[in-house]
Amino acid sequence: TCALPISDKHYKQVIEDGPKVLKEASGDDKEQTKFLIADSYFKLGKMREAALKFNEFIEAKPAKKYLPTAKIRMGDCFRHLGDGATAKVYYEELIKEFPDSDEAAKAKERLAEKG
């Protein structure tokens, strides 16, 4: 992730320029760009678009580096969209696949909030 403070304007720029960057990117750069596009939709509160982009990202079988964050974001997207059952699936999947990650700890907290 970028160490600079990012504003809504920057997220919009990532969404706008992302497809062009993706055409020229390969390997890790392509993966990171896909993740950043999805995350930018999420940070702008565009949950449906974010869920679609994170789903495409996860389906592409990325390196494990971004997967825990992508999975918690998927759960969060569905939670924000009012679909607690689907959110729970993503949180539980994350906890099972990455039990020691910070994201798994957050997912456990979110599941506990529901209970």
Mean pLDDT by 10 residues, the chain (115 residues): 62 91 90 94 96 96 93 97 97 97 97 79
CA atoms in the 13 A half-sphere facing the CB of 31 = 13
Under a CB-based contact definition with an 8 Å cutoff, are residues 70 and 60 in contact?
no
Whole-angstrom distance, CA of residue 32 vs CA of residue 67 = 11
pLDDT for the residue numbered 90: 97
Q: Is the dihedral of CA 68, 73, 78, 80 positive or negative?
A: positive
pLDDT for the residue numbered 28: 87
What predicted TM-score, i.e. pTM, was given to this entire model?
0.88
Under DSSP, the state recorded for 34 is: H
pLDDT for the residue numbered 66: 93
Q: Which residues, 6+ apart, have CB-to-CB distance to 84 below 8 Å?
A: 78, 114
